[in-house]
Amino acid sequence: MTELGLGVATLEHEPTGRTDPDAVDATLAASGDASAFERLYRTHVPKVYGLVRRMLSDDDVDEVAQDIFVRAWQKLGTFRGEAAFGTWLHRLAVNVILARRETLGTRRKRYVEGDMVLETVPSRRATPEMSMDFEAAMERLPDGAREVFVLHDVEGYRHEEIAQMLGLATGTSKSQLHRARMALRQHLER
C-alpha cells in the first residue's frame, strides 16, 4: 500500500508557484505506487517513444523505451521536483539513448563534413499526413546530424546542452543542425 505519510509531507511543503500535474503521481510512484507510475508511463510514453524512434535507427526501439521507464522507476528517488517530471524523464531518456549508442560498438563517422545528400525518399501514396515524408527524410540523415536535429528542433535543447551530451564542440552542433535543416527543406510540402 502507498506510504502516504511521505506523500503528505511533501505536498504540504510544496513551494508556491507553477504546478506540475505529474508531481502527485511522481510522489506516489516514488513511494512504490506502481499504479501511479503506470499513469506517468501512459502520459509520457508517446513523447519518449518518439524520441527513441528518432534518435536510434536500430530496431530495438521498444526495448530501449522500456529501459528508459525501468531506469526512471529506479531513479525516482532522485527526482526532486525542481523541474517538471516530464522534463526530468526526458533528460533521463536522452541519457539512456546516448549510453546505448555507445554500447553498440564502433560506428561509422557520425558527423559528416561536406554537403549532405539524402537518398531520394520513395514516393508514397497520397496521404493527408504530410509529416510522414518529413519523418522518412529525417531517418535518412546521417546519425550525427539527425541526433542534433532531433535534440534541437524537435526536443528543444540548446546547442550548449547538445554539445555536452554528445561530446561535441558547440560549433559542430550548430553546423550539423544547419546541414540537417538544409537537407530537410527539400522535403517540406509545397
Binding site for other proteins (CB under 8 A): 2, 4, 7-8, 11-17, 19, 21, 23-25, 28, 33-47, 49-50, 61-62, 65-66, 69-70, 73-74, 128-131, 134-135, 149, 153-154, 159, 174-175, 177-178, 181-182, 184-185, 188-189
How many residues in total does the chain contain?
A: 190
Residue 57 or 107: which CB sits closer to other proteins? 57
Q: Cβ 5 to other proteins, closest distance in Å?
A: 10
Residue 99 backbone zone (phi > 0: left; psi -120 to 50: alpha; other: beta)? alpha
Q: Which residues of 104-128 are buried (b: 16+ CB within 10 A; e: fewer)?
A: eeeeeebbbeeebebeebeeeeeee
Tell me how far apart the alpha carbons of residues 146 and 70 are, in angstroms, rounded to a whole number.
Answer: 26
Are the C-beta atoms of 158 and 112 separated by less than 8 Å?
no
Residue 61 or 98: which CB sits closer to other proteins? 61
Q: Cβ 102 to other proteins, closest distance in Å?
A: 22
* Unique residue bearing C-alpha cell 554539445: 163
Residue 8 or 83: which CB sits closer to other proteins? 8
Residue 58 or 107: which CB sits closer to other proteins? 58
